[in-house]
Amino acid sequence: MSSVPVVTLSGGTSMPRIGLGTSPLDDGDAERVVSEALEAGYRLVDTAENYRNETGVGRALKGAPRDEVFVTSKFNKRWHSVDGARTAFEASADKLGVDYLDLLLIHWPNPDQDRYVEAWQGLIALREAGLVRAIGTSNFKPAHLQRLIDETGMAPEVNQVQLSPVWAKPVEREFHQQHGIVTEAWSPLGKGTDLLEHAAVRQIAEEHGRAPGQVVLRWETQQGVVPIPSRSTGRGSSRTWRCSTST
């Protein structure tokens, strides 16, 4: 990944500054889209147990050297225990056809179940065992993150949240910065909004000869956020995700 801009996580692992999200692709589409993305220059691919496309993503990964692609997955609440995290890792690694994951995340805190601290302890054990290079969370609020820190003494390296100029999440980003947590953005192009049609976004795009989505992704990377646009996200997204490695 020497030619790809990276951010260094708190544990020392280098993560690309932009990646490809794969929700809601099925296995067939995931294999095709991830293969195209790798050819376009992407080196971070994000999937999850819940997306049910890890097998397709894994087929696409066979076409690239393992050490050149940063592979992320996430696991569900049924695995919120120390042993459960290990089971979730093994299932994802098997479907993806890899020996290790670059980043493994708890997909949601599920506070009603109240076992996310156990899940976090399981991730810490996986990293210590060398099975994952970095560990983190997804959709965790500052209160959830603070509890992990208070009870284990260790902050996640990444927290993945819905974020775009429409949902800039200043409180979450400030908390992340204070604790050395990298903010990763899902739905970075404002899915379900008119963000890409906004007059200011379109004006900047025209002035710089870029697609509106590229302008949005550039804003996010300038904020220190790692966006993971999906192939199916937003109007005009095909050009955006194909070109966004040069934002």
In tens, the pLDDT along 209-221 reads 999 999 999 999 9
51 is catalytic: yes
Question: Residue 94 is encoded by which pair of tokens?
Answer: 């098997």
Q: Which long-range contacts (CB under 8 A, 24 or more apart) does 24-28 make?
A: 24/51, 24/230, 24/232, 25/51, 25/53, 25/56, 25/230, 25/231, 25/232, 26/52, 26/53, 26/56, 27/52, 27/53, 27/55, 27/56, 27/59, 28/56
Global pTM exceeds 0.75: yes
| Burial class (CB within 10 angstroms; exposed 0-12, middle 13-18, buried 19+) of 53 | buried
| pLDDT score, position 237 | 47
Q: pLDDT band at residue 234, thresholds of 50, 70 and 90?
A: very low
The tens digit of pLDDT for each residue in 88-147 reads 999 999 999 999 999 999 999 999 999 999 999 999 999 999 999 999 999 999 999 999
Choose, from 42, 51, 100, 116, the residue flagged as catalytic. Answer: 51
pLDDT mean over 24-40: 97
Per DSSP, 12 falls in state S
Q: pLDDT band at residue 2, thresholds of 50, 70 and 90?
A: low
